[in-house]
Amino acid sequence: MYRLVGAAGRAADPVPAAVAPLLAAHRAACPQADGAALLRAYAVAERMHRGQLRKSGAPYITHPLAVATILAGLGLDTDTLVAALLHDTVEDTPYTLAEVRAGFGEEIAALVDGLTKLDGDRWRGRAEAETFRKIVLAAAADLRVLVIKLADRLHNLRTLGYQPPHKRARIARASHELFVPFADRLGIHVLKREMDDLAFAASAPEAHAATRDAVDAALREAPAVFAPAVARVRAALAEQGVAAEVTVRVSHLYAVHTSTGGDLAGLRPCQVARLLLVVDGAEQDCYVALGAVHAALHPIAGRLVDHIAMPKHNLYRSLHTRVIAPAGDPMEVIVRSRAMHPVAEHGIVAHIRAAAGDGAAAGAATGRRDLDWLRRLLAWQADAPSEGFLDSLRADLADGGLTVYTPCGSIIPLPPGATALDVAYALGTDTGDHSIGALVNGRPSPLSAEVRDGSLVEVLTDPRAAPSPGWLDFAVTAPARVHLARVLAADGAERAAAAGRDRLARALAGRLDLLGAEARGAALAVARDLGFLEVDELYAALDAGAVGLADLVARLTAR
């Protein structure tokens, strides 16, 4: 142990050696931060987890401490780090949420609550799905819940070697399908890249090793390919009077694996690295720098993507272009300003860091209206049953791949294979329910028509139109499929109830007025006697054969 120096030079209480790296990382990013709250949280977490061990045999406290240290390295605020230290206490120890609230305040208690898994015994097979739904809802209130969860998963991936093979495969798959996409949606690419590669190593160790070796071999040739390109770009920038840092950025292994489809033969340096220009200047200087790049290196037509004018779903802003390097290789170049760079690397974390002091950090992570993906996710998750919720979530988080536009200027990201119907539902459930077709790039198209990247799509509607069961055959996105399933199920229930009621009315003809029995509550009383909350449920059960007609007639006529 060593001592921190307190106010007026007084020696503070001894600091456990285990927590010293966390305090140092936090002080490096937040020099004015008070470490007292961290020390109190560490003391609670260490005491509550005492005697618990990780699969590696290490004391369990090493896990929350590592999670908090990852977040400290990102520059997160004190409250976030305290919540990270306590994030497993309510779930795995006798420590209660009320104790968190009493000891550390409502804000930290809300973060810990959002991270606490639901009781598996109570929720049974629905626990995993409903836990993810809980995290999504908590993240809507404070995105730091999701940031802590990502750091938690990153540390679990770092220590995945201690898990049995079947569990390694499951954790790696879930990481690629759920956690990596969440990191991408929040723009935290420093976490996304490491999680990608760790999950890749766990799920496909041979492919990971082969990719690593191929990338290492390609990078040995990189100076000969990139040095002439960098020299030309720097000279062109100087001619334009633009100051910029020009570096070679190496892609992470999983990105190389997916971009090559695993075909690593003859891998070239430009397939594993690209040029990054960070411009010292305003937004317009990025476009001047882009012009300098195109003057120095021949641009490839149709390969310019402007994410400054049209930011990505995760607030990412940069210019992407492809050029021909002096050696003849296609080369990707990224241009962004110095102000854009922190968000490009750290996403939402950069906004939280930029908040003035810990007290404003929550405001930087809550109530954001510029994250359309979260708004859409919140809209459809409420209607999604536990069964199939994770599949819908995976589909919704899958890489966009496509971007389509509408005449009113809306920009809609979609997964590959998306149709005009998906565009309709992305514009709102009312538009989707009443859609009858679309104009894709000015040409009439059915709702089942697949849309292409960059298409201009105008949805055609009719107020008399309604969803058809056949739409589920070509709806791709989670919002469309979840809404359609709910609407069609409700329609089916209404039809079944109407058919059951009609059958009962015919059986009662001449003996009892069914409408009168409904009006005086006799029908509802019989329904409740049989375990149904509503009369329509009873009628639907009759139509399905779950309730006998003769028995129902006897019960009603006896009242």
Residues tagged active-site:
91-92
Name the DSSP class of 280.
Answer: S
Question: Is the CB of residue 291 less than 8 Å from the CB of residue 240?
Answer: yes
Query: Can you tell me the distance from the alpha carbon of 55 to that of 59, in angstroms, rounded to the nearest whole number?
Result: 9
Question: How many CB atoms are closer than 10 A to CB 534?
Answer: 12
CB 374 within 8 A of CB 140: yes
**Tell me, what amino acid is at 175?**
S
User: 3-state DSSP helix/strand/coil percent for the chain, to nearest 5?
Assistant: 60, 10, 30
In one letter, which amino acid is 206? E
Instruction: Determine the Cα–Cα distance for residues 298 and 103; give it in Å rounded to an integer.
Output: 62
- Torsion 460-464-468-472 (CA) sign: positive
Q: How far is the C-alpha of 236 from the C-alpha of 81, rounded, in Å?
A: 45
Question: Can you list the pairs that 413-419 forms with residues at least 24 positions away whose Cβ atoms lie under 8 Å?
Answer: 413/313, 413/373, 414/451, 414/476, 414/477, 415/476, 415/477, 417/450, 417/476, 418/450, 418/451, 418/476, 418/477, 419/447, 419/448, 419/449, 419/450, 419/451, 419/474, 419/475, 419/476
> Which residues share a beta bridge with 336?
278
Three-state secondary structure call for residue 16: coil
Q: Are 320 and 305 in contact (CB under 8 A)?
A: yes
Beta bridge partners of 15: 2
In DSSP notation, 57-122 reads SSBTTHHHHHHHHHHHHTT--HHHHHHHHHTTHHHHSS--HHHHHHHH-HHHHHHHHHHSPPPHHH
d(CA 200, CA 403): 27
Contacts of 348 (CB under 8 A, 6+ apart): 143, 147, 186, 187, 188, 315, 365, 368
Burial 9-38 (b: 16+ CB within 10 A, else e): eeeeeebbeebeebbebbeeebeebebebb
